[in-house]
Amino acid sequence: MIGRLRGVLLEKVAPEVLIECNGVGYEVTMPMTSIYALPELNQEAIVYIHFVVREDAQLLYGFANKVERKLFRLLIKVNGVGPKLGLAILSSMSADQFVSCVGHDDITTIVKIPGVGKKTAERLLIEMRDRLKDWQMSLKTPTTNVMPMDNLFENTFVNSAKGDATNALVSLGYNQSQADKAVKAIYQNGMSSEDLIRDSLKAML
């Protein structure tokens, strides 16, 4: 069981990163909230892992701290919520924000997450309310400092920034039309892909 990776961050193409540990490169899928907390490329990164073994694949889901991983593991226990939807939820809001939504029965915000319909949102609120009774944010472990957004990705061309942002949103569960529309509405000259992803996610919630 892989529980944590510590190595050099070689690539960041949301929602995936590549971390080299002792000469082995691990492809890890992460929510945007965790990607924002990663250091610059070619620097050391520590990522907490949820390891999934399937008949056709072995998948690594990474998180900036144990709290996000804990919430992810609680989310995928909810009927109808798989890893992809769990990542979409944690890409749309922080662990604290999700816990707040559950505590306030904020179904309006929950249904805006890609892949979450009204029934799924209701199920999330009901089942997570019970599972979060003993939730203690004091369990949060120190994380790497959030890097300036300008350093999240290295994009040279405008089209690359738009394309990377659109592809990231599609990977998180939005359909192509929604992603294209959101990115076009947000884009301004000079914006990087991470700015587009971050602001598009905010605009769609």
Residue 41 corresponds to which tokens in the numbers above?
A: 């490329």
In the chain, count H helices and then E strands: 9, 5
Return averaged pLDDT per consecutive 10 residues of the chain, 205 residues in all: 94 92 96 90 96 90 94 92 91 88 91 88 90 60 36 38 76 75 79 78 74
What is the Cβ-side half-sphere exposure of residue 138, based on CA atoms within 13 angstroms? 2
State whether the Cα torsion 63-64-70-74 is positive or negative.
Answer: negative
Residue pair 47/5 in contact by the 8 Å Cβ criterion: yes
Angle between helices 66-75 and 95-103 (to 10 degrees): 50
Predicted pLDDT at 155: 32
Helix H or strand E segment including 107: helix 107-110
Q: How far is Cα 39 from Cα 42, in angstroms, rounded to an integer?
A: 9
Question: Residue 21's pLDDT is what?
Answer: 96
Domains identified in the chain and CATH numbers = 4-63 (2.40.50.140), 66-137 (1.10.150.20), 149-203 (1.10.8.10)
pLDDT at position 136:
52
Euclidean distance between CA atoms 163 and 95, whole angstroms: 28
What are residue 130's phi and psi, to 5 degrees? -75, -40
Beta-strand ranges (E) seen in the chain are: 4-13, 16-21, 24-29, 44-53, 58-63
User: Dihedral (C-alpha) 139, 168, 192, 8: value to the nearest 10 degrees?
Assistant: 60
Residues comprising the chain, all counted:
205
